[in-house]
Chains A and B, each alone.
Chain A
Amino acid sequence: MDRPMTVIVVESHRDRALAIVDALKDADDCEVIVIGSDSGLARKIAAHDPDVVLIDVHDPSRDKIEELTLASGPLDRPVAMFVPNAASALARAAVEAGVSAYVVDGMAPERLRPILEVAIARFQVMRQMRAELEQTRRALEERKIIDRAKGLLMKSRGIGEDEAYALLRKTAMDQNRRLADVAQALITAAELLS
């Protein structure tokens, strides 16, 4: 990454927060903002628009972060977890599962930034996949709508399938609207009239 990375660290313990800030500062090119886990979490995170959020795996506020970072939530962001050394098996398993980055406590500073970058990259891939899936789903739905509209036209005007499609297309182009929107309008009108 060649632009500065903004990291929000959710951390109530002052000493540990300072250690994390130091670690990331050493890795340079990194803006680190530490916030407490108690109040106004959503507002503070939104205000800083971070690239990644780092939180202790034992912090109950993790559930709050999960809400904020849901695909449908206000902050679609990667989240990385701090895991104590004792639970490093969990960290490994989580990374293998391929979603969150789990960062083991006491890690050398120069290793922290690459891990966060991996978290961000992996998140972008996931988001891309989600977007493509959504697109495919929408395309399928639109095809269904267009098929229904074609059927309506064929029945009411006694024309063939190709002709019905051509009529829909022409109407869409004339009105400068999307084919699926014209089809939907036709279905709605037909339902109202029937």
Chain B
Amino acid sequence: MKPVVLRAAYVPLVDAAPLIVAEAMGFAAAEGLQLDLVAAPSWSAARDMLILGQVDAAHLLSPIPVAGALGLGGVRAELAAVSVLSVNGDVIGVSRRIEERLRADGFAFDLNDAPATARALARAAPGGRLRMGVPFPFSMHRILLDLWARGTALADIAFDIRTVPPPLMRRALADDEIDAFCVGEPWGSVAVESGVGALVLAGRAIWAFAPEKVLAMRRDRAEDPSRNAGALMRAIWAAGRWLSRPDSRDAAAALMARRALIDVPAELIERALSGQLTILQTGQQRHVPSFVEFHAGLATFPWRSQARFIADRLAILHGLDRAEARDVGARVFRTDLYRQNLGPMGIDLPGASEKVEGAIAHPTPVASRRGGITLLPDRFFDGRIFDPALPES
């Protein structure tokens, strides 16, 4: 039978892997699909291509469809996040100048202590000001930085966040336009490798289980069975499971580099997949467990509480009514479509569609159909709890 062709936009990053793997390793073909992957030059371009029907699906920053539902940015449209594509995967890095100051201050470069890193950075900030680059205004990076800056010593300095497209991050750092950055891999490793920056903190030190990218579709297409959303979701789920196996990493890294999808050496891509990061130009390494997850801990389940949390943070950042934003935003993550399309495969699914975010300190079994689901730690650095049932948590 002739495969159905679906067009999918992605932005060249390590966490586009499920789409790339689904096509290259035959998971799409097994569902009767052929994925036509379209590299988007920017997040706004990927979003607009999806909204305008140029592509059927897109790899998007998890806050983009939520922001769209809140009427923020660009064309207003109803997008559905049908699966989470990846959890975690961001790094925070600094310029060489800041790195020198941190080193002189005895900083440990542990990657895992958000308050200590904030204190050290506040001391190292030139003239009490830190210019920080993030890829997009509606991004997990932006939300993580906001949480971190409000709750630490960074609140006492001028913390100036600006948008810098990931491929230009290295150059912005080299040109002294920014002092630091929060970016997805491989761009943090690229900054280290080219000698302009050092890594100081993993994103998951701020929120240990942050939904980073989603598989987004236009709502009308996601809900229309003739548009093959189900087949695409199953192919992506299988690709994520394959990616989660340690012995897939070499192949995955080679694949992404070989196809010139991400224009960097395979070795840099593998760092993110394994969580074994080189943090300084001199070669010191740190291991970050769960640096990026494509499958473990039910990573792809689009918890409505995650969308609710994202909407709440966007509402704070953009001065919207928080209660209303949370309700509108929660509807963007489609646990219903996830259950409907993946349930018949026989995979185990949780009983609930929302959870208290930030409450899990150790891997924890949860109520599910077959009792086989273990959730991974999802703590916030400040111990906050986001309870979707409470109005102001």
Contacts and interface: CB of A to CB of B under 8 A. Distances in A.
Interface of A: 38-40, 42, 57-64, 66-68, 70-73, 89-90, 93-94, 97-100, 137
Contact of B53 (A38, A59, A93, A137): A93
Main SS at interface, chain B? loop
A38 to B, nearest CB: 7
Contacts of B73: 66, 70
Contact of A57 (B45, B135, B163): B45
A97 B41 contact: no
B172 A97 contact: no
What 9 A-B pairs come out closest when comparing CB atoms? Answer: A60-B165, A67-B163, A93-B52, A62-B42, A63-B42, A58-B41, A67-B137, A64-B163, A66-B44
Given A66-B137, A66-B163, A72 B319 contact: yes
28 contacts: A38-B168, A42-B162, A57-B41, A58-B41, A59-B42, A60-B41, A60-B166, A62-B41, A62-B42, A62-B44, A63-B43, A63-B44, A64-B165, A66-B42, A66-B44, A66-B73, A66-B74, A66-B137, A67-B136, A67-B137, A72-B318, A73-B137, A93-B52, A97-B51, A97-B52, A98-B75, A100-B48, A137-B321
A40 B168 CA distance: 12
Contact of A40 (B136, B166, B177): B177
Given A60-B167, A98-B75, 19 more contacts: A38-B171, A40-B177, A58-B45, A62-B42, A63-B44, A63-B135, A63-B136, A63-B163, A63-B165, A64-B163, A66-B43, A66-B73, A66-B137, A70-B72, A70-B73, A89-B54, A90-B52, A94-B75, A100-B75
A137 B321 CA distance: 10
Contacts of B45: 57-58, 62
Interface in B130-189: 135-137, 162-168, 171-172, 175, 177
Nearest to A95: B52
Contact of B48 (A39, A67, A94): A94
Contacts of B166: 60
B49 interface: yes
A63 B136 CA distance: 6
B74 A99 contact: yes
A97 B53 CA distance: 11
Contacts of B167: 60
A59 B45 CA distance: 9
Contacts of B52: 90, 93-94, 97
A61 B43 CA distance: 10
Nearest to B318: A72
Nearest to A43: B177
Nearest to B48: A94
Interface of B: 41-45, 48-49, 51-54, 72-75, 135-137, 162-168, 171-172, 175, 177, 318-319, 321
B319 to A, nearest CB: 7
A90 B318 contact: no
A59 B41 contact: yes
Nearest to B164: A64
A144 B41 CA distance: 46
Contacts of A38: 168, 171, 175
A138 to B, nearest CB: 11
A66 B139 CA distance: 13
B310 to A, nearest CB: 17
Contacts of B74: 66, 99-100
B57 to A, nearest CB: 17
Nearest to B165: A60
Contact of B162 (A66, A67, A70, A97): A67
Contacts of A94: 48, 52, 75
A39 B175 contact: yes
Contacts of B42: 59-63, 66
Nearest to B41: A58
Nearest to B76: A99
A137 B71 CA distance: 14
B165 A99 contact: no
A168 B173 CA distance: 56
A62 B136 CA distance: 10
Contacts of A98: 75
A100 B321 CA distance: 27
A75 to B, nearest CB: 12
A7 B311 CA distance: 35
B142 to A, nearest CB: 10
Nearest to A60: B165
B161 to A, nearest CB: 9
A64 B171 CA distance: 15
A157 to B, nearest CB: 31
Nearest to A93: B52
B209 to A, nearest CB: 26
A59 B163 CA distance: 14
Contacts of B168: 38, 60-61
B75 A61 contact: no
Contacts of A68: 163
B49 A70 contact: no
Contacts of B48: 90, 94, 100
